[in-house]
């Protein structure tokens, strides 16, 4: 049987994951209700990206919560089922995270845009982000990723190269174009934590805990957007 996590860690992780999913649902519905107000495009775009992010993350967080509740097992069939659902969840969340940054770009363009305030390179950067997103999603769909059998380290790096490029562009336009430095820092920190997991969690499983501050960055980012309604 695999090594069991301490009960306190299992409870804490489950509560955090459930709390995050609940926050994403409530925030998404709040954006949705605000889409009938003064900023319909901005609110609706935020609703889509928030609900999509939460739904995608639910695919791998719900199986993790279930694992924490049931505990470890040495049943081969149960382990295979768990690996399949966790792998599928990681694939889905990789795609929804990518779409999240496309939506964030559109939301900020709608929020900050207007006569005389739209950056000249808006279309170019939008196109670049879209191309990178398509490449990233295509790479995620290659069977060499081995999502349901533990993953492949080399492909984990390959599929994240265009994603990191999207992150760099996002930090650039948030900071340089819109002077939204708090949001830019949150995005930079979330990517730093995420890449720490991608690069090191295989050899050092405790590095997986970096997903918690990464998720907190998303929560603060979405909460900040809620404050713009």
Give φ, ψ of 179 to 5 degrees. 55, 30
pLDDT at 128: 94
Q: List the chain pLDDT tens, one digit each, 229 residues.
A: 445 666 777 788 889 999 999 999 999 999 999 988 878 889 999 999 999 999 999 988 888 887 767 666 566 766 667 777 778 888 999 999 999 999 999 999 988 875 445 566 778 889 999 999 999 999 999 989 888 877 778 888 999 999 999 999 999 999 998 999 999 999 999 999 999 988 887 788 788 788 899 999 999 999 999 999 8
The Cα–Cα gap between 228 and 41 comes to 13
Instruction: Provide CATH code, domain 7-226.
Output: 1.20.1070
User: To which residue do tokens 């050092």 refer?
Assistant: 204
Query: What is the pTM assigned to this prediction?
Result: 0.89
The Cα–Cα gap between 115 and 113 comes to 7
Give φ, ψ of 114 to 5 degrees. 150, 170
**Residue 12 CB neighbour total at 10 angstroms:** 14
The Cα–Cα gap between 39 and 135 comes to 32
pLDDT at 22: 96
DSSP string, 196-210: HHHHHTTT-GGGGGG
């Amino acid at each position: 049987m695999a090594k069991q996590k301490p009960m306190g860690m299992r409870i804490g992780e489950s509560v955090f994951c459930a709390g995050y999913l609940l926050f994403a649902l409530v925030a998404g519905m709040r954006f949705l209700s605000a889409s009938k107000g003064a900023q319909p495009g901005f609110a609706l775009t935020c609703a889509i990206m928030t609900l999509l992010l939460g739904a995608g993350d639910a695919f791998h967080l719900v199986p993790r919560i279930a694992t924490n509740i049931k505990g470890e097992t040495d049943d081969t069939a149960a382990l295979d089922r768990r690996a399949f659902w966790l792998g599928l969840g990681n694939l889905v969340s990789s795609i929804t995270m990518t779409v999240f940054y496309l939506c964030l770009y559109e939301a900020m363009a709608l929020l900050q845009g207007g006569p005389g305030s739209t950056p000249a390179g808006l279309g170019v950067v939008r196109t670049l982000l879209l191309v990178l997103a398509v490449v990233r999603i295509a790479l995620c769909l290659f069977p060499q990723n081995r999502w349901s059998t533990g993953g492949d380290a080399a492909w984990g790096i390959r599929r994240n190269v265009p994603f990191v490029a999207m992150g760099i562009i996002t930090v650039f336009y948030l900071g340089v174009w819109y002077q939204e430095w708090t949001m830019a820092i949150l995005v930079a920190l979330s990517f730093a934590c995420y890449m720490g997991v991608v690069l090191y969690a295989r050899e050092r499983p405790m590095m997986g805990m970096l997903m918690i501050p990464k998720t907190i960055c998303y929560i603060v980012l979405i909460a900040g957007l809620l404050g713009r309604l």
